[in-house]
Amino acid sequence: MFLLEGWIRIHGEAATNDNTLAQYLQLLQQYGVGKGDEQTERFLRLSTLIVVEAVLNTAKPSGEGSSGKKVLDYAFIDVYSKLVTVLVKHMNGGGTEEQIVAQRMALLNKVLGVTVRSLMWDFYTRSQKGRTPWDQRPWFRLLFNMTMDLNTPDPIFDPISFGILSAFGAAFHVIQPLAVPGFSFAWLELISNRMFLPNLLLLNEQKGWNVALQLLIDQFLFLEPHLRKSELTPAIKQLYEGTLRVLLVLLHDFPSFLAGYHLSLCNVIPENCVQLRNVILSAVPKGMVLPDPFTPNLKIDLLPEIQQAPIVLSNVVGPIEGMRIDLATFLKEPQRSDFLSTLLPRLCKEGTNEVDAARVNSLVLYVGIKAIARIQNAQIAQALPHTPEMEILQKLMEFDDKGRYTCLNAIANQLRYPSSHTHYYSCVMLFLFSETKNVAVKEQVTRVLLERLIVHRPHPWGLLITFIELIKNQRYQFWSHQFTRCATEIEKVFESVARSCLAPGTSRSTTVGGEESQ
């Protein structure tokens, strides 16, 4: 590949100038690079494989001994990634400004397409041959360099910044961990890169949010079966911790993103991952100041924010599209529909008795939105028993323990920052606890709330408000139930959480009287 060798030689010359660069680009065009699709793709594919192999051949034992990871010299990849940046930045086939922009984007898409296809081919080829374990480092270095160079502020790239970020997002989606598991650590590093994820989320009109959401979902879909296991392998544990750190950064810098897509993200997080879910559900839109949940006699129904609906960017009806017409009919004329009698089987995965969490999450949020519109300014606590929406939520309590646990988690997922949703679902949770004659329901309501409070902070505001009301208001007689003191260890846990939730100097027997606190 004399064209690649020519670039390496030019790049190594200290006297490289614009004239030399222009001559080299003209030479590439003479050989069809940047003009013909076939020639361009062939040049990029061979160059990529050559530089990756050249880097692997530089491997030397580290100072830790023969068992340590070998050290690589990335010079060839660094030089090649500079060539890619130069090609995208300077080569064009002439025409109007719009045509030149389109040519640059087409070339970038071709570069990234060739890179990810070559990466996947290399991964599966080496895996099938059973040779030494596939080394993700050269590919990470190549994609990292491209991400940094092509997303750095530049007058040429600024007009197409959204296109560039979208192209990288599409490329990363193709090589997601489910497709190339051996690249999972490098992949997480790439999607959280400071020149990629923040730039994506800072685009005007939230244009990059869908791309960021898809990549986060890709990560959770890979982790999900591993996180369901009681024991994590060291590698998965590290990957989980890295994912948690990314979420914490988003919680600090882009809370509105997490708050807007809480439903989509909770749909792909296993129920046992309480802390991950808490981080997402603790997100508060920028500019909102949370009232102190430990304020004595706090009247949340008097808060101005409690009348406002939260922004939900997820597709709420997607998972329940198949029952949407029947659901709408029941909510309009409940007495003329047999919807309730057929509901539970329709919430299970096809051909099984396993409850579909995503379907339940969507149903719970959908009926809540409809109920709030129906109740409007009425007192929610008083109006709850008389709505078809509450009939649906009560029907969900007829599932077995596992299915009911999924449904109660779906309700708890809406206990977030002050809003009409948080107020409604807090009342729903307390209503289910107080009105049921099934002790198992009371116990599971308590479990769902408690297990979200015994993990490390952050804790969602609405979750704290609901649990404080449950343990303080004598109407619920929380401390009189056998499950709160069935064992010394359990009682100590309740006492500990109660002390942390109640104001200093407040005993567990203190009441707040009636429903006003809601």
Q: Assess contact for 256 and 309: CB atoms under 8 A.
A: no
Output the six-digit token pair for 191: 């999607």
The model's pTM: 0.88
Which runs of consecutive H residues, i.e. helices, occur in 413-472?
Answer: 420-435, 439-453, 461-472
Q: How far apart are CA 323 and CA 331, in angstroms?
A: 12
List pLDDT tens digits, range 71-92.
998 988 998 898 888 888 877 6
Q: How far apart are CA 454 and CA 368, in angstroms?
A: 27
CATH of domain 300-501: 1.25.40.800
Given a cut of 60, whether residue 350 has pLDDT beyond it is: yes
Q: How far is CA 345 from CA 323, 444, 511, in A?
A: 12, 21, 41
Q: How far is CA 40 from CA 33, 36, 111, 149, in A?
A: 4, 6, 9, 20
Domains 2-253 and 300-501 share a fold: yes
Coil vs helix vs strand at 355: strand
Given a cut of 70, whether residue 327 has pLDDT beyond it is: yes
| Other beta carbons within 10 Å of 245 | 12
List pLDDT tens digits, range 482-500.
777 766 766 677 677 666 6
Domains of the chain, residue spans = 2-253, 300-501
Given a cut of 80, whether residue 322 has pLDDT beyond it is: yes
pLDDT of residue 156: 85
- Please provide the distance, in angstroms rounded to a whole number, between the alpha carbons at the two ends of the chain: 73
Question: Cis ω on the peptide bond leading into residue 319 (within 30° of 0)?
Answer: no
Given a cut of 80, whether residue 391 has pLDDT beyond it is: yes
Output the six-digit token pair for 352: 């099984």
**pLDDT class for 63, splitting at 50, 70, 90?**
low
| Other beta carbons within 10 Å of 453 | 20
Q: Average per-residue pLDDT in the chain? A: 85
pLDDT of residue 8: 62
pLDDT over 70, % of the chain = 84
Q: What would the mean pLDDT of 419-428 be, rounded to a whole number?
A: 93
Q: Assess contact for 10 and 55: CB atoms under 8 A.
A: no
pLDDT of residue 481: 80
The domain 2-253 having CATH identifier 3.90.600.10: the answer here is no
Residue 68 C-alpha from the chain's centroid:
34
Return the amino acid letter for 140: F
Range 395-418 burial, b when 16+ CB lie within 10 A, else e: bbbebeeebbbbbbbbbbbbbbbb
